[in-house]
Protein backbone atom coordinates (compact mmCIF):
# COMPACT_ATOMS: atom_id res chain seq x y z
CA UNK A 1 0.00 0.00 0.00
CA UNK A 2 1.40 3.37 -1.02
CA UNK A 3 1.29 6.41 1.22
CA UNK A 4 1.38 10.00 0.09
CA UNK A 5 3.87 12.37 1.62
CA UNK A 6 1.01 14.49 2.81
CA UNK A 7 -1.77 12.31 3.99
CA UNK A 8 -5.38 12.90 4.89
CA UNK A 9 -5.96 15.83 7.21
CA UNK A 10 -2.43 17.08 6.91
CA UNK A 11 -2.76 20.84 6.98
CA UNK A 12 0.73 22.32 6.79
CA UNK A 13 0.98 26.03 7.45
CA UNK A 14 -2.57 26.30 8.61
CA UNK A 15 -3.26 27.51 12.12
CA UNK A 16 -4.75 24.76 14.22
CA UNK A 17 -8.01 24.92 16.07
CA UNK A 18 -8.57 23.40 19.47
CA UNK A 19 -9.89 20.22 17.93
CA UNK A 20 -6.73 19.59 15.98
CA UNK A 21 -2.99 19.26 16.64
CA UNK A 22 -0.01 18.62 14.39
CA UNK A 23 -0.60 14.92 14.53
CA UNK A 24 -4.19 14.34 15.55
CA UNK A 25 -7.62 15.52 14.47
CA UNK A 26 -11.06 15.13 15.99
CA UNK A 27 -13.63 12.93 14.28
CA UNK A 28 -16.01 15.86 14.83
CA UNK A 29 -13.89 18.02 12.57
CA UNK A 30 -13.45 15.43 9.83
CA UNK A 31 -17.17 14.83 9.45
CA UNK A 32 -18.74 17.35 7.12
CA UNK A 33 -15.49 18.42 5.48
CA UNK A 34 -15.77 18.82 1.71
CA UNK A 35 -14.00 16.51 -0.75
CA UNK A 36 -12.77 17.83 -4.11
CA UNK A 37 -11.07 16.17 -7.04
CA UNK A 38 -7.88 17.39 -8.67
CA UNK A 39 -9.96 19.49 -11.09
CA UNK A 40 -11.41 21.38 -8.14
CA UNK A 41 -14.87 19.90 -8.54
CA UNK A 42 -16.70 19.21 -5.31
CA UNK A 43 -17.48 15.50 -5.04
CA UNK A 44 -19.21 15.47 -1.68
CA UNK A 45 -18.27 15.60 1.98
CA UNK A 46 -17.06 13.18 4.62
CA UNK A 47 -20.05 11.74 6.44
CA UNK A 48 -18.46 9.33 8.91
CA UNK A 49 -15.48 7.09 9.50
CA UNK A 50 -15.45 3.30 9.65
CA UNK A 51 -13.12 2.18 12.41
CA UNK A 52 -11.63 -1.25 13.14
CA UNK A 53 -13.08 -2.37 16.46
CA UNK A 54 -10.04 -4.22 17.67
CA UNK A 55 -7.11 -2.24 16.34
CA UNK A 56 -8.76 1.19 16.29
CA UNK A 57 -7.60 1.88 12.75
CA UNK A 58 -9.73 4.02 10.44
CA UNK A 59 -10.38 1.89 7.38
CA UNK A 60 -12.62 4.22 5.39
CA UNK A 61 -13.67 7.83 5.29
CA UNK A 62 -17.19 7.54 3.91
CA UNK A 63 -18.08 10.40 1.58
CA UNK A 64 -21.66 11.20 0.66
CA UNK A 65 -23.28 13.39 -1.91
CA UNK A 66 -26.51 13.99 -3.79
CA UNK A 67 -30.05 13.38 -2.70
CA UNK A 68 -32.66 15.56 -1.10
CA UNK A 69 -33.41 15.11 2.61
CA UNK A 70 -31.43 11.90 2.59
CA UNK A 71 -33.32 10.30 -0.31
CA UNK A 72 -31.11 9.26 -3.19
CA UNK A 73 -27.91 9.99 -1.31
CA UNK A 74 -24.97 7.82 -2.21
CA UNK A 75 -22.12 6.88 0.08
CA UNK A 76 -18.59 6.20 -1.14
CA UNK A 77 -16.09 4.57 1.22
CA UNK A 78 -12.66 6.02 0.48
CA UNK A 79 -9.46 4.49 1.82
CA UNK A 80 -8.03 6.81 4.45
CA UNK A 81 -4.77 7.30 2.61
CA UNK A 82 -6.19 8.45 -0.77
CA UNK A 83 -7.25 11.74 0.80
CA UNK A 84 -4.95 14.70 1.20
CA UNK A 85 -5.88 18.01 2.71
CA UNK A 86 -5.82 21.02 0.38
CA UNK A 87 -5.42 24.22 2.38
CA UNK A 88 -6.37 26.41 -0.61
CA UNK A 89 -9.62 24.52 -1.17
CA UNK A 90 -10.33 24.14 2.51
CA UNK A 91 -11.18 20.50 2.02
CA UNK A 92 -9.84 17.10 1.12
CA UNK A 93 -8.51 16.35 -2.31
CA UNK A 94 -8.72 13.00 -4.06
CA UNK A 95 -7.49 12.00 -7.51
CA UNK A 96 -10.86 10.95 -8.92
CA UNK A 97 -12.71 12.53 -11.81
CA UNK A 98 -16.48 12.63 -11.81
CA UNK A 99 -16.89 9.95 -14.49
CA UNK A 100 -14.70 7.54 -12.59
CA UNK A 101 -16.58 8.31 -9.39
CA UNK A 102 -19.76 7.00 -11.00
CA UNK A 103 -18.15 3.57 -11.26
CA UNK A 104 -16.68 3.64 -7.77
CA UNK A 105 -17.96 1.30 -5.06
CA UNK A 106 -20.88 2.99 -3.31
CA UNK A 107 -24.10 2.26 -1.49
CA UNK A 108 -27.36 3.84 -0.37
CA UNK A 109 -28.35 4.37 3.25
CA UNK A 110 -29.71 1.14 4.68
CA UNK A 111 -27.77 -0.95 2.16
CA UNK A 112 -24.37 -0.76 3.80
CA UNK A 113 -21.75 -3.19 2.51
CA UNK A 114 -20.43 -6.09 4.57
CA UNK A 115 -17.06 -4.36 4.83
CA UNK A 116 -15.45 -7.77 4.70
CA UNK A 117 -12.21 -8.88 3.08
CA UNK A 118 -13.78 -9.15 -0.38
CA UNK A 119 -15.09 -5.60 -0.11
CA UNK A 120 -11.73 -4.32 1.12
CA UNK A 121 -10.05 -5.87 -1.92
CA UNK A 122 -12.65 -4.31 -4.22
CA UNK A 123 -12.06 -0.87 -2.72
CA UNK A 124 -8.31 -1.34 -2.73
CA UNK A 125 -8.40 -2.48 -6.32
CA UNK A 126 -10.49 0.45 -7.46
CA UNK A 127 -8.33 3.06 -5.78
CA UNK A 128 -5.10 1.26 -6.65
CA UNK A 129 -4.16 0.72 -3.05
CA UNK A 130 -3.56 -3.03 -2.91
CA UNK B 1 0.94 -2.26 25.48
CA UNK B 2 -1.52 -4.88 26.58
CA UNK B 3 -4.65 -5.68 24.62
CA UNK B 4 -7.80 -7.18 26.04
CA UNK B 5 -9.31 -10.20 24.42
CA UNK B 6 -12.46 -8.25 23.81
CA UNK B 7 -11.64 -4.74 22.80
CA UNK B 8 -13.61 -1.55 22.42
CA UNK B 9 -16.80 -1.90 20.48
CA UNK B 10 -16.68 -5.63 20.45
CA UNK B 11 -20.28 -6.72 20.70
CA UNK B 12 -20.36 -10.50 20.58
CA UNK B 13 -23.76 -12.07 20.22
CA UNK B 14 -25.49 -8.81 19.53
CA UNK B 15 -27.27 -8.35 16.25
CA UNK B 16 -25.52 -5.77 14.14
CA UNK B 17 -27.08 -2.63 12.74
CA UNK B 18 -26.31 -1.27 9.34
CA UNK B 19 -23.63 0.99 10.75
CA UNK B 20 -21.66 -1.87 12.21
CA UNK B 21 -20.09 -5.15 11.07
CA UNK B 22 -18.16 -7.87 12.87
CA UNK B 23 -14.96 -5.94 12.52
CA UNK B 24 -15.84 -2.30 11.88
CA UNK B 25 -18.02 0.33 13.47
CA UNK B 26 -19.11 3.78 12.37
CA UNK B 27 -17.78 6.83 14.19
CA UNK B 28 -21.41 7.99 14.20
CA UNK B 29 -22.36 5.03 16.33
CA UNK B 30 -19.46 5.35 18.77
CA UNK B 31 -20.20 8.97 19.58
CA UNK B 32 -22.80 9.28 22.28
CA UNK B 33 -22.41 5.73 23.58
CA UNK B 34 -22.42 5.51 27.38
CA UNK B 35 -19.34 4.52 29.40
CA UNK B 36 -19.70 2.60 32.66
CA UNK B 37 -17.20 1.40 35.21
CA UNK B 38 -16.98 -2.16 36.53
CA UNK B 39 -19.35 -1.22 39.35
CA UNK B 40 -21.98 -0.34 36.77
CA UNK B 41 -21.83 3.40 37.47
CA UNK B 42 -22.25 5.61 34.46
CA UNK B 43 -19.13 7.74 33.99
CA UNK B 44 -20.14 9.64 30.88
CA UNK B 45 -20.39 9.04 27.15
CA UNK B 46 -18.04 9.06 24.19
CA UNK B 47 -18.02 12.52 22.64
CA UNK B 48 -15.52 12.17 19.81
CA UNK B 49 -12.45 10.29 18.65
CA UNK B 50 -8.96 11.69 18.19
CA UNK B 51 -7.42 10.19 15.06
CA UNK B 52 -3.81 10.16 13.87
CA UNK B 53 -3.71 12.20 10.67
CA UNK B 54 -1.05 10.17 8.97
CA UNK B 55 -1.66 6.61 10.08
CA UNK B 56 -5.42 6.87 10.60
CA UNK B 57 -5.20 5.24 14.01
CA UNK B 58 -7.64 6.22 16.74
CA UNK B 59 -5.53 7.33 19.70
CA UNK B 60 -8.25 8.37 22.12
CA UNK B 61 -11.95 7.98 22.64
CA UNK B 62 -12.79 11.23 24.43
CA UNK B 63 -15.46 10.77 27.08
CA UNK B 64 -17.38 13.70 28.51
CA UNK B 65 -19.67 14.16 31.45
CA UNK B 66 -21.12 16.77 33.77
CA UNK B 67 -22.03 20.35 33.10
CA UNK B 68 -25.20 22.04 31.97
CA UNK B 69 -25.50 23.21 28.37
CA UNK B 70 -21.81 22.58 27.87
CA UNK B 71 -20.70 24.69 30.84
CA UNK B 72 -18.56 22.82 33.34
CA UNK B 73 -18.27 19.76 31.16
CA UNK B 74 -15.09 17.79 31.48
CA UNK B 75 -13.47 15.69 28.78
CA UNK B 76 -11.43 12.57 29.49
CA UNK B 77 -9.32 11.08 26.71
CA UNK B 78 -9.32 7.30 27.12
CA UNK B 79 -6.92 5.04 25.28
CA UNK B 80 -8.87 3.07 22.68
CA UNK B 81 -7.92 -0.27 24.13
CA UNK B 82 -9.07 0.31 27.74
CA UNK B 83 -12.68 0.20 26.60
CA UNK B 84 -14.64 -2.99 26.18
CA UNK B 85 -18.23 -3.25 25.08
CA UNK B 86 -20.70 -4.63 27.60
CA UNK B 87 -23.75 -5.99 25.86
CA UNK B 88 -25.75 -6.20 29.10
CA UNK B 89 -25.10 -2.55 29.93
CA UNK B 90 -25.47 -1.42 26.33
CA UNK B 91 -22.35 0.67 26.62
CA UNK B 92 -18.62 0.62 27.05
CA UNK B 93 -17.02 -0.62 30.21
CA UNK B 94 -13.79 0.66 31.69
CA UNK B 95 -11.98 -0.41 34.86
CA UNK B 96 -12.05 2.97 36.59
CA UNK B 97 -13.81 3.84 39.82
CA UNK B 98 -15.27 7.31 40.32
CA UNK B 99 -12.61 8.43 42.77
CA UNK B 100 -9.82 7.48 40.43
CA UNK B 101 -11.61 9.19 37.56
CA UNK B 102 -11.35 12.48 39.43
CA UNK B 103 -7.58 12.26 39.21
CA UNK B 104 -7.55 11.18 35.57
CA UNK B 105 -6.17 13.49 32.87
CA UNK B 106 -9.01 15.71 31.67
CA UNK B 107 -9.72 19.11 30.20
CA UNK B 108 -12.49 21.63 29.63
CA UNK B 109 -13.77 22.67 26.23
CA UNK B 110 -11.46 25.25 24.71
CA UNK B 111 -8.52 24.00 26.78
CA UNK B 112 -7.69 20.93 24.75
CA UNK B 113 -4.34 19.31 25.49
CA UNK B 114 -1.43 19.34 23.06
CA UNK B 115 -1.84 15.61 22.51
CA UNK B 116 1.91 15.36 22.15
CA UNK B 117 4.29 12.63 23.26
CA UNK B 118 4.41 13.91 26.84
CA UNK B 119 0.63 13.82 27.04
CA UNK B 120 0.51 10.34 25.51
CA UNK B 121 2.92 9.12 28.17
CA UNK B 122 0.83 10.73 30.89
CA UNK B 123 -2.33 9.04 29.63
CA UNK B 124 -0.53 5.75 29.12
CA UNK B 125 0.95 5.96 32.61
CA UNK B 126 -2.39 6.70 34.24
CA UNK B 127 -4.21 3.86 32.52
CA UNK B 128 -1.27 1.47 32.84
CA UNK B 129 -0.87 1.15 29.11
CA UNK B 130 2.77 1.97 28.58
- Strand, helix or coil at B101? helix
A33 contact residues in B (CB cutoff 8 A): none
Phi-psi region of A113 (alpha: psi -120 to 50; beta: other; left: phi over 0): beta
Measured between alpha carbons, how far is B35 from B94 in angstroms, rounded to an integer? 7
Q: Is pLDDT at B10 greater than 70 in this prediction?
A: no
Which residue from A49, A7, A3 is spatially nearest to A29, judged by alpha carbons?
Answer: A49
For chain B, the average pLDDT equals 82
What are the tens digits of pLDDT across the range B55-88?
A: 899 999 999 987 666 667 899 999 988 998 888 8
A48 near B CB under 8 A: yes
Q: Please report the pLDDT score of residue A62 as a whole number.
A: 96
Q: How confident is the model at residue B89 (pLDDT cuts 50, 70, 90)?
A: confident
A26 contact residues in B (CB cutoff 8 A): 48-51, 62
Name residues whose C-beta falls within 8 Å of residue B71's C-beta, 6 or more positions apart in sequence. Answer: none
Measured between alpha carbons, how far is A9 from A26 in angstroms, rounded to an integer? 10
Q: Please report the pLDDT score of residue A2 as a whole number.
A: 37
Measured between alpha carbons, how far is A31 from A27 in angstroms, rounded to an integer? 6
* Percentage above 90 pLDDT, chain B: 48
Inter-chain CB proximity B50 and A18 less than 8 Å = no
B84 contact residues in A (CB cutoff 8 A): none
Q: Is pLDDT at A60 greater than 90 in this prediction?
A: yes
Q: Please report the pLDDT score of residue A55 as a whole number.
A: 87
Give the Å distances, CA to CA, from A63 to A10, A30, A107, A115. 18, 11, 11, 15
Interface predicted TM-score (ipTM) = 0.77
B100 near A CB under 8 A: no
Measured between alpha carbons, how far is B83 from B66 in angstroms, rounded to an integer? 20
CATH classification number, B27-126, choose in 2.30.30.240, 3.40.50.2300, 3.30.420.10, 2.10.260.10:
2.30.30.240
What are the tens digits of pLDDT across the range B92-115?
A: 999 998 889 989 999 998 889 999
Q: Can you give the residue ranges of every domain in chain B?
A: 27-126
Q: Please report the pLDDT score of residue A5 as a whole number.
A: 37
Amino acid sequence: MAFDQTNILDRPGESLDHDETDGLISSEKVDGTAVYNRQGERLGSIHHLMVGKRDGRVRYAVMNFGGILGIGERYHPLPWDVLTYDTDMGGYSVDLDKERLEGAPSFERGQEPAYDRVYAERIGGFYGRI
